[in-house]
Structure 1
């Protein structure tokens, strides 16, 4: 079983990402979770369709955790790509290690996870990094991801984080993989195809969402 610990020692920080991966960071200010007050960026790129959730405008029931599925684009390139292909699919926000960028108004549904899930959830994409990317950079992206998702839960009074992956698809946080498993209408497995292979469990991401939810 993987254990996640943070040990801070004066001028040197040790980050035990899992039981076999240790990160040393001399400049602790570069780690995202030490800058939790940094707001997400709002950059709406298109006047997307304004369709209400099944419970009404501004009433999402939770958040879907996505990852991009490919690691060959930057956040800006993903936004540009989605601007051109939104009629096929689009999400509410993209996140990397530097910022979270909201591209569609989360008061209205998007279509990124099939007809069952789309009318229920805000949907957020974590930009995948190429193999060999530093663990610190990946950690920063997870912190931005978790911080933005916690803000969404608070903004829409959705309620405290509960991980649907562990309770038969019922909860305020659900992965695209569990949408496929429990709700249907899609067959994607993200972010399980990305995070675990890089040493980060879904439980770890959820723990960071939980941390920010009770911190902001």
Structure 2
């Protein structure tokens, strides 16, 4: 069948106008053609006209792997909440329902599950970490960690430093990531300096002078996150093939329980920040080369061409000395996930 044309009572063709009948609204556009299975944008809103031409009012639309809601008057719900069936749903700025994702507002973090419903009054596993949501949906990470250091961090409200940028490494704009198909990193490697007597600036100055041998993108300690090379380009800290895939940073050795805990938070934040930046989801390194969160030891185990085992020994020593416990990549993943969940 051809396009639908509406002739009003005066016989003129309806162009760029609305028609209401049979309890529905229709739109006839340029040339009088009815808008079928298409979108209309006006007055700062988006509307959808269905295959029969009727405007979708108070209904859901599924496409492109997402769910959308068009409410009263056919307006698409953008950056707003919808309540029904005893659940709360959030529709993002582009109108798509938030499924399997964190939402941050009002100083709290929330999680919407695989059906889009706000998780409330229960525990959930997300990316290998466990969270508990109270009855209002606020995620409560404080009581769920089984590692003493992570609990110490949460209970003391230890926050992260801001990232500082220092141009310490000469131009490496030609160092595109050679191990990924899109030229972007697909993993983060955690290092430790293995130097008990040097400061963060001592380490940075050393790499500035010896970058031709090796360098990483950033250094962290208890008070600083200092990026010295652009993460859009390769660093040389873990041999190939890891160099061709990874954002890499070094932890400087620190002393004291508070300083060690704060350094871990800074390391977790820097990791989470880069994972968000490059569209990665936190997951542990695997023997088949997958996973986004790697220690230098993991690189030695699974990718080769290096034999370092950091940061295992450093973490084990400080965790045992200051907290009477251990600390490993599983524990660090929980901290990364927590920082990741707070990033929009």
The question of whether the paired residues in 1 share the 8 Å contact of 2:218 and 2:229 is answered with: yes
Select which of 301, 310, 325 maps to 1:181.
Answer: 301
Partner of 1:95: 220
Q: Number of matched residues?
A: 191
**Alpha-carbon offset, residue 41 of structure 1:** 0.9
**Alpha-carbon offset, residue 156 of structure 1:** 1.4
Question: What are the within-5 Å matches in structure 2 for residues 150-165 of structure 1?
Answer: 150-157=272-279, 159-164=280-285
Partner SS, residue 210 of structure 1: helix
Partner of 1:12: none
Question: What are the within-5 Å matches in structure 2 for residues 193-204 of structure 1?
Answer: 193-199=313-319, 200-204=327-331
Supply the distance in 1 between the matched residues of 2:316 and 2:288 (Cα, whole angstroms).
20
Partner of 1:73: 198
Question: What are the within-5 Å matches in structure 2 for residues 116-195 of structure 1?
Answer: 116-129=241-254, 133-157=255-279, 159-164=280-285, 168-195=288-315
Tell me the TM-score normalised to structure 1 length: 0.80
Partner SS, residue 194 of structure 1: helix
The question of whether the paired residues in 1 share the 8 Å contact of 2:169 and 2:211 is answered with: no
Supply the distance in 1 between the matched residues of 2:249 and 2:169 (Cα, whole angstroms).
17
Which protein has the bigger strand share? 2
Supply the distance in 2 between the matched residues of 1:79 and 1:56 (Cα, whole angstroms).
31
Bigger Rg, which one: 2
Partner SS, residue 88 of structure 1: coil
Supply the distance in 2 between the matched residues of 1:171 and 1:84 (Cα, whole angstroms).
32
Residue 215 of structure 1 pairs with residue 328 of structure 2: no
Say what the alpha-carbon RMSD is for the aligned residues: 2.6
Supply the distance in 2 between the matched residues of 1:74 and 1:57 (Cα, whole angstroms).
36
Partner SS, residue 313 of structure 2: coil
Residue 115 of structure 1 pairs with residue 240 of structure 2: yes
Residue 53 of structure 1 pairs with residue 174 of structure 2: no
Partner SS, residue 104 of structure 1: coil
**Alpha-carbon offset, residue 197 of structure 1:** 2.1
Which protein has the bigger helix share? 1
Cα distance per residue 1:12-51 (max 9 Å; x no partner): xxx9338xxx979x9x46x33xxx5x53111121324221
Cα distance per residue 1:62-92 (max 9 Å; x no partner): 1001111111111111001111111100000
Partner SS, residue 242 of structure 2: coil
Partner SS, residue 152 of structure 1: helix
**Alpha-carbon offset, residue 168 of structure 1:** 4.7
The question of whether the paired residues in 2 share the 8 Å contact of 1:149 and 1:209 is answered with: yes
Supply the distance in 1 between the matched residues of 2:142 and 2:148 (Cα, whole angstroms).
6
Moved more, 47-56 or 107-116: 47-56
